[in-house]
Amino acid sequence: MSNTTLRGKVWAAVTQAFKLPMALIRRMITTLINRVWMSTLPSPKMSAQTMVDCNRRKMVVGLGNPGMNGSRHSVGMAVLTTLAERLGAPDSWRSDRQVSGEVIVTQLQDIQLVVLRPKLLMNINGVSVAKAASKYLISPEHILLIHDELDKPLGKFGIKHGGSARGHNGVRSCVDWLHTDVMPRLRIGIGRPSGKMPVDRYVLGRFSQEEQNVLDSVMKQSVDVLLTFITDSQPQTSPAEGRRASRKNKSRTLSPPQDTTEEQKQS
């Protein structure tokens, strides 16, 4: 094969790649990163006593992009700030390289609560979540994700009991990494952009002062709901009931949509 022909084929491949939608390219890159990281997760063996202890352990995760405090996409991390204050541990954050994030480990009634703030980009937040779940031996149904929600207007928030990621890349990463979608979520409404503003630009933008005033009250009320959910709720579905995918083939099984969303609105 001549050099000219080879260069032509390479150039054709490159130009074809640039024709792919950016969303698909990002998805391909994320999948590649996931495969690289996947082999690093240990599979700890648990004794009967450890299993009992694990049922008293839960984790709350604020999804977002590190270093982008105040942005709509990182509102899940903002909720953690209010949560840490309510738990009396605002200065207890510690960096943990083993989980690629910052954590607070505290006691809430008879529950050992792990609060996780990933230090990875939103699209691979699931890496941090899976590492923390493995280290602290927390099952997916005891992991609550907090994230922004485009389909709820600012001032509204609600609990969703598992189900699909609904287009949220941070949630999708967690579903991919934990091989299940049973994780409950606290969805904080940010609304959709007005006019022709692209969604990606909107979610990465910061709240206006007026929006921040609304959000401050939402933070307090959502943490009230969150703490009640953590201390009162029972697992919605056991992984044994079919929602966990086989680790052998790295696939996942999605649960059917549920309409049990508990919703609050800021008055």
Active-site positions?
A: 73
**Phi, psi angle pair for 253, to nearest 5°:** -115, 125
Q: Which residue has the tokens 């694990």?
A: 54
State how far Cα 238 lies from the chain centre: 20
DSSP-derived secondary structure for 41-93: -------HHHHHHHTTEEEEEE-S-TT-TTBGGGHHHHHHHHHHHHTT-TT--
95 vs 234: CA distance, rounded Å: 30
| Amino acid (one-letter) located at 38 | M
DSSP label at residue 1: -
Q: Report how far residue 178's alpha carbon sits from residue 139's, in angstroms, rounded to the nearest whole number.
A: 9
Nearest to 192 by CA among 167, 165, 223: 167
Ramachandran category for residue 114: left, alpha or beta (phi over 0 → left; psi -120 to 50 → alpha) = beta
- CA distances to 3, 31, 145, 160, 208 from 128, in Å: 45, 15, 12, 21, 30
* Secondary structure (DSSP) of 146-166: EEEETTS-TTEEEEEES---T
